[in-house]
C-alpha cells in the first residue's frame, strides 16, 4: 500500500477533487478553508501543491491568461489516479480510526 498522505495533503487533494475542472490556487485555498474550517495561507497551499505534484498525486495544466490576474494565466490542478488512491486510503483509515472511538462529534452537540 502506498504511504498515506498527510492531513494537509489530504485536505488539498479533497479540495481539488471537489472543485473538478475549476481547481486553481484561489479556488483551492477557498475550498480547503471552507472544508476544514481553518485558515489556509498561500505559503501552506503552494508548498503542498509542490509536494503533491512531486509525489505524482496531482497534475498541472495551463489555463488562459486573464487581465484580472495581471495578465498571467491560471494553472489548474487535477487529481491523478495515484492521488485518488491516496485519498481513498486516507478516508478508509480515517473511517476505521473513527469507528474505534466513541462518537466524539455528536457529544458536543
Report the C-alpha gap between 5 and 107 in whole angstroms: 28
Three-state SS for 25-67 is HHHHHHHHHHHHCCCCCHHHHHHHHHHHHHCCCEEEEEEEECH
The C-alpha atoms of residue 59 and residue 76 are separated, in whole angstroms, by 8
Q: Residue 24 — φ and ψ, nearest 5°?
A: -140, 175
Which position among 20, 56, 69, 95 is part of the footprint of another protein (CB under 8 A)? 69
Q: Does 33 bind another protein (CB under 8 A)?
A: no
**Stretch touching another protein by CB under 8 A, among 13-21, 23-31, 84-92, 93-101:** 23-31
Cβ 101 to another protein shortest distance, Å: 30
Between 73 and 92, whose beta carbon lies closer to another protein? 73
User: Interface with another protein by CB under 8 A: which range of 12-20, 72-80, 87-95, 97-105?
Assistant: 72-80
What residues make contact with another protein under the rule CB under 8 A? 24-26, 29, 41-44, 46-47, 49-50, 60, 62, 65-75
Amino acid at each position: 500500500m502506498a504511504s498515506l498522505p498527510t492531513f494537509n495533503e489530504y485536505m488539498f487533494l479533497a479540495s481539488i477533487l471537489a472543485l473538478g475542472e475549476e481547481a486553481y490556487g484561489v479556488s483551492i485555498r477557498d475550498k480547503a478553508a471552507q472544508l476544514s474550517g481553518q485558515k489556509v495561507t498561500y505559503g501552506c497551499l503552494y508548498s503542498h501543491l509542490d509536494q503533491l505534484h512531486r509525489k505524482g498525486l496531482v497534475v498541472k495544466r495551463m489555463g488562459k491568461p486573464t487581465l484580472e490576474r495581471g495578465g498571467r494565466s491560471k494553472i489548474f490542478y487535477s487529481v491523478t489516479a495515484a492521488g485518488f488512491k491516496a485519498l481513498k486510503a486516507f478516508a478508509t483509515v480515517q473511517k476505521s480510526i473513527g469507528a474505534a472511538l466513541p462518537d466524539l462529534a455528536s457529544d458536543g452537540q
